[in-house]
C-alpha cells in the first residue's frame, strides 16, 4: 500500500526509527455479477463454460464423474450451440455480452450518485471470465482502498451465485499480505426499495403494451431440488419476493405465477418449470401474459434469449396470442437506485 517513506536516521543514532505514516485511505465498492464469455466463437465459449461448470458451488457432483461428463461431452458439444445463442443477443458495437455492458453502466451510474462521497471508488467485476474479481480487487487496492464492500448483484441468496462470488473474493484476499477490510452485502429479496422498483417497472411496462394481461409470470433461475433439501434458502427467497410483489401491486394472488427456468441435466429442479408452464397456459386457453424475471439484476442470455424468444415461441405455438417480457431493472433509474440504496446502507460506519 502507498505509505510515506520512512525517514531513516543515521546508523549511529540510538533513537528508534519513525513509524511510517499511512496516507488517507479510500473505500472500494465492487459490484459482482456472474459473467459472460469474451466472444461467441468456440474457444472463448469453451473457456467460459469450463470455468463456470467447474465451480463446485454450481455443480455438486463427484469430481471424477463430473470431469468425464464435462470434458468429454459438454465441452465438446455446448460451446458451439451456446455461442450461437450468445451471438443472437451480442452487443456488436462493443463486442461484448449485454451483461457486461449493463453491469458497467450500473457501476458508472452508482459512482455518479455517490459523488457526495469522494473517497469511495465504485467498480465492477465478474465471477467468471473478464473483468475478473481478482484483477479488480488488486486495482482498487492500488488506488488506495483499504476497505472493500463487495456487492453481489443477486437479489436472492444461493450458494451457486452469492456464495461463490464471496468465495472468489476471499480466495484473492487470502493471497494478500496486507488485506483490505471486507464486507459482503446481503441479499435484498425482500428489501422494500427493490420490491417497489419491480412493481414500478411492471406498471410502466403495462402502459406500453396494447393488451391487458391475464397473468403475470414471475420466473426465477432454477436449481436442483437437492440443493434446497441441503439448506439453500433460494427457493424461500424467491417465493417471498413474489408474495411481496403481489402485495405492492395490489393484485389478487391468482394473477401472478411463480416459475423456475434454465434447468440443466436430468435431476429434478425447482418447480413449476417455466417452459412447461408456458406450454400448459397456451393449451389451457390463456391468451395474454406478461413475464418478469425478478432474480436477475441485468438482462443476459437467460432472459433475452431463453425467456423473450424461446418461451414466447412455446406460448404462442400452444395457442397463446400476446406475450410481453418486462426487462430487468438493468441500469434504469429504478435499478440504479436499488443498488445505490444497498451500497449506502452497507457503507454505514465506513464513510
**Residue 29 and residue 344: Cα distance in Å, rounded?**
10
Based on the structure, what is the number of domains in the chain?
Answer: 2
Q: Considering the chain, what percentage of its residues have pLDDT values greater than 70?
A: 93
Do 118 and 175 have their domain in common?
A: yes
End-to-end Cα, the chain, rounded Å? 20
What CATH number should be reported for the domain holding residue 265? 3.40.50.1400
| pLDDT category of residue 231 using cuts at 50, 70 and 90 | very high
pLDDT at 4: 40
Do 196 and 177 have their domain in common?
A: no
The answer to whether 269 and 223 have CB atoms below 8 angstroms apart is yes
Do 293 and 225 have their domain in common?
A: yes
Q: What is the pLDDT of residues 52-104, one digit of tens each?
A: 999 999 999 999 999 999 999 999 999 999 999 999 999 999 999 999 999 99
Look up the domain containing 263 and give its range: 192-326
Do 30 and 163 have their domain in common?
A: yes
* Higher pLDDT pick, 22 / 172: 172
Residues written for the chain:
351
Do 222 and 242 have their domain in common?
A: yes
For residues 40-55, average pLDDT: 97
**Residue 321 and residue 199: Cα distance in Å, rounded?**
24
Do 156 and 73 have their domain in common?
A: yes
Residue 141 lies in a domain: yes
| pLDDT category of residue 264 using cuts at 50, 70 and 90 | confident
Per-residue b or e along 175-201, where b marks 16 or more CB atoms closer than 10 Å to that residue's CB: eeeeebebbbbebbbebebbbbbbbbb
Which of 20-29, 258-267, 312-321 is predicted least confidently?
Answer: 20-29
Do 132 and 215 have their domain in common?
A: no
Do 261 and 177 have their domain in common?
A: no
2 has pLDDT over 50: no
Do 101 and 171 have their domain in common?
A: yes
Q: What is the pLDDT of residues 313-326, one digit of tens each?
A: 999 999 999 999 99
Do 148 and 80 have their domain in common?
A: yes
Burial class (CB in 10 A: 0-12, 13-18, 19+), 317: exposed
For residues 129-138, average pLDDT: 98
For residues 194-222, average pLDDT: 97
**Residue 120 and residue 122: Cα distance in Å, rounded?**
7
Amino acid at each position: 500500500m502507498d505509505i510515506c517513506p520512512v525517514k531513516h536516521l543515521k546508523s549511529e543514532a540510538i533513537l528508534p526509527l519513525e513509524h511510517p505514516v499511512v496516507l488517507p485511505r479510500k473505500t472500494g465498492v465492487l459490484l459482482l455479477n456472474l459473467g459472460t464469455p469474451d466472444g461467441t466463437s468456440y474457444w472463448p465459449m469453451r473457456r467460459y463454460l469450463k470455468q463456470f461448470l467447474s465451480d463446485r458451488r454450481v455443480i455438486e457432483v463427484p469430481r471424477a464423474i463430473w470431469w468425464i461428463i464435462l470434458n468429454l461431452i459438454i465441452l465438446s458439444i455446448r460451446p458451439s450451440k451456446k455461442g450461437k445463442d450468445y451471438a443472437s443477443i451480442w452487443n456488436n458495437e462493443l463486442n461484448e455480452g449485454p451483461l457486461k455492458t449493463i453491469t458497467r453502466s450500473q457501476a458508472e451510474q452508482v459512482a455518479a450518485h455517490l459523488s457526495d462521497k469522494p473517497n469511495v471508488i465504485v467498480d465492477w467485476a465478474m465471477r467468471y471470465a473478464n473483468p475478473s474479481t481478482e484483477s479488480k480487487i488488486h486495482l482498487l487496492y492500488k488506488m488506495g482502498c483499504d476497505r472493500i464492500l463487495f456487492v453481489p448483484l443477486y437479489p436472492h441468496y444461493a450458494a451457486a451465485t452469492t456464495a461463490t462470488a464471496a468465495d472468489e473474493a476471499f480466495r484473492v484476499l487470502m493471497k494478500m499480505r496486507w488485506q483490505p477490510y471486507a464486507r459482503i452485502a446481503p441479499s435484498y429479496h425482500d428489501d422494500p426499495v427493490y420490491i417497489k422498483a419491480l412493481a414500478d417497472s411492471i406498471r410502466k411496462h403495462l402502459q406500453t403494451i396494447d393488451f391487458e394481461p391475464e397473468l403475470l409470470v414471475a420466473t426465477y433461475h432454477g436449481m436442483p431440488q437437492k440443493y434446497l433439501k441441503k439448506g439453500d434458502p433460494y427457493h424461500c427467497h424467491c417465493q417471498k419476493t413474489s408474495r411481496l410483489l403481489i402485495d405492492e401491486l395490489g393484485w389478487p394472488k391468482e394473477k401472478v405465477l411463480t416459475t423456475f427456468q434454465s434447468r440443466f441435466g436430468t435431476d429434478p429442479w425447482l418447480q413449476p418449470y417455466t417452459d412447461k408452464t408456458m406450454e400448459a397456459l397456451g393449451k389451457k386457453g390463456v391468451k395474454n401474459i406478461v413475464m418478469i424475471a425478478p432474480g436477475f439484476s441485468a438482462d443476459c442470455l437467460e432472459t433475452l434469449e431463453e425467456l423473450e424468444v424461446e418461451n414466447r415461441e412455446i406460448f404462442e405455438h400452444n395457442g397463446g396470442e400476446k406475450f410481453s417480457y418486462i426487462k430487468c431493472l438493468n441500469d434504469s433509474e429504478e435499478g440504479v437506485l436499488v443498488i445505490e440504496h444497498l451500497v449506502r446502507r452497507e457503507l454505514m460506519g465506513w464513510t
